[in-house]
Amino acid sequence: MTISSVAADRAAHQIEAFLEMKAAERGAARNTLLAYRADLLDFAAHQPDPLNASETELRAYLQGLAGQGLSARTQARRLSSLRQFHLFLLREGVRADDPTSRLDAPHVHPGLPKFLSEAEVDALLNAAHTHPRAEMVVAALEILYATGLRISELLALPRHALAGDAMLLMIRGKGGRERLVPLSDAARNAAIPLLQGRGRHLFPGRDPARPLTRQAFWGMLKQVSLVAGIDPDRVSPHVLRHSFASHMLARGADLRSLQTLLGHADIATTQIYTHVLAERLQALVEAHHPLARPAVATRKGSL
């Protein structure tokens, strides 16, 4: 076995140990773990000795990502993965230093969240009744729009979550954080027919022992979007989450309450929706500020 293959094997072992730590101690979701693995294996594939890479080598690797045309967001995510991995190596005594500590992440311009109008959501819900699996699709869309759940949280709902007359859902979100989310009458009523199904999941897949997959739900959502006359590229479970948040703010909800409902650990994450607050504040000023009222022009003209 060559030196480089030995180094690669050691790196692979530490990557798996890092992922196990993230799963056991931090409750990282499966997709998060897959993203970490992909990022770290890509880095390891570009280094002769991944566990002993220098700051210079790390910097060169990140510059290479930019040269490949990867977005600033992707570059920032890779650096975040590398930082967490090297902090793990430092904690485990594999390394005596952290070569990522002085690396700067590329500036990421936060984009405005994409969301549907209230009329478009209504059209989507109406179109859901035409789907061959209407009971499941209508219930899923009603719950997503009424609660702002992530798709992973929705599909993980056990059937007993809606048992009895409880009007709150206990959701286990990212990092294992739990939160209570109120359920609207419309969402609850839409889900009642699913309580008679098989298996332990509210939204079972072809195998009743397993939940519906994301891919299967995406397929249903695209069909419904076409019937509703909405470009399927504009519709996703996360767009419905954004729509829930944007519409709640537009109708008077505050950021702190929205943070709790969405399960954000940091209110800074919730602040991506402040564009809606800005629009609402502008409308308030135009409606109530004396200099913004049409009567001002008449008063000036009479002077």
Residues tagged active-site:
150, 174, 238, 241, 264, 273
The tokens of 14 are what? Answer: 């530490």
Closest to 240 (Cα-Cα) out of 110, 134, 149: 149
DSSP state of 208: T
The tokens of 124 are what? Answer: 């989507």
Closest to 163 (Cα-Cα) out of 191, 136, 187, 143: 191
Closest to 250 (Cα-Cα) out of 298, 282, 210: 282
SS3 assignment, position 179: strand
**Which residues, including other chains, have CB under 8 Å from residue 243's CB and lie 6 or more apart?**
115, 116, 121, 145
CA distances for 133 relative to 19, 189, 217, 222, 233, angstroms: 37, 16, 11, 13, 21
Report the chain's C-alpha Rg in angstroms. 24
Cα three-residue angle 241-213-201, rounded to 5 degrees: 90
CB of 102 within 8 A of CB of 55?
A: yes
**Which residues, including other chains, have CB under 8 Å from residue 159's CB and lie 6 or more apart?**
194, 195, 197, 199, 200, 201, 202
The beta strand positions in the chain, using DSSP E, are 168-172, 178-182
Q: Give me the residue label for tokens 């294996």.
A: 41
